[in-house]
Amino acid sequence: MEVRVANVRKEFERFPALHDVSLDIKSGELIALLGPSGSGKTTLLRLIAGLERPTKGTIFFGDEDASQKSIQERNVGFVFQHYALFRHMTVADNIGFGLKVRHGAAR
């Protein structure tokens, strides 16, 4: 499923956590959000997951506007970063681990 973030803004009591963010993620594409602490990476992921609602802008799953949908209605999964990363591995090794496990296990 394609995920598209279009001109999203998120404010917390007038503090602009995200300002006019746009992003297109194609179906099957793997991306990484990189940036310093406080740059809005977690806020963007929380918006996509449905844990937060955008102040302005739209989040699409395919052609469907998911901006105001609940977590349950979005039908997406997420894992919090502290529990999902192996501290002894590099970023590349952490990403590669999930890909290796996915291809090795039959579903």
- pLDDT for the residue numbered 79: 67
DSSP string covering 26-78? -TT--------TTSSHHHHHHHHHTSS--SEEEEEETTEE-TT--HHHHT---
- pLDDT for the residue numbered 107: 46
Domain that holds residue 72: 3-77
> What's the predicted TM-score (pTM) here?
0.73
Total structural domains in the chain?
1
In a domain, 19, yes or no: yes
Q: For residues 29 and 26, what is the distance between their CA atoms, to the nearest angstrom?
A: 5
In a domain, 88, yes or no: no
- pLDDT for the residue numbered 102: 67
Q: What is the DSSP letter of 98?
A: H
44 or 106, which is more confident? 44
In a domain, 100, yes or no: no
79 or 4, which is more confident? 4
CATH number of the structural domain spanning residue 70: 3.40.50.300
pLDDT digit string (tens) for 35-80? 898 899 999 999 999 999 999 999 999 999 999 998 889 888 776 6
In a domain, 105, yes or no: no
